[in-house]
Amino acid sequence: MEQTHIVPGLRVRDVGLSVFGETRSFRSRPGSNESIDAARQKIAHAIINGRELAHQTGKEPPTVHPPVEPPKQALRDPEVRAAYESSLRAAREAYLSGHDPTNGATHLNSRPTPDRSKWKGRLALSTQSGPYDNSFVKGDVKSHTIWLNTYFGDEQEKRRKAGKR
């Protein structure tokens, strides 16, 4: 099933590997509103929704971590292995699920605060999961605390997806 294409050029496994790349350093912690496993499934839904919308409209899909298989040596680390398996499972469950908990969200990001404002000044929040512990504090996220958010596309994308013009 992991080789099944969701849309041309996107396999279930690709979604799982992208989820892994996006969330590899995140861990559940006391006080989180849901497990990291549940949040990963929302991230998988947003990746799938974004690619499906891009396929339907001919637009570029939202940017996510590329699907890169981790080295076997990295998977010997129990925390990395757990994140990897959780991410692949999230992609399978998102693909097979009859329910999208994001209600069609197409974008995602991680934030160091529980900010619920529009992302990029235009994308409305769909879901917010967290807080989680983050062990990688370089690059875009320089915080040990992280929230995972999904967002709806802009109004034009939402209307097009709903079949309105």
pLDDT digits (tens, 9 = 90+) for 13-44: 999 999 999 999 999 999 999 999 999 999 99
| pTM, 2 dp | 0.91
Residue 15: which of 45, 35, 59, 52 has the closest Cα? Answer: 45
Structure-derived torsion over alpha carbons of residues 84, 86, 90, 93, reported in degrees to the nearest 10: 120
Provide the token pair at 154. 């802009």
Handedness of CA 41, 43, 45, 48 (dihedral sign): negative
Provide the token pair at 26. 């995140």
Instruction: Lowest mean pLDDT of 49-58, 66-75, 101-110, 148-157, name the range.
Output: 148-157
Q: What is the mean pLDDT of the chain?
A: 91
Secondary structure of residue 15 in the 3-state scheme:
helix
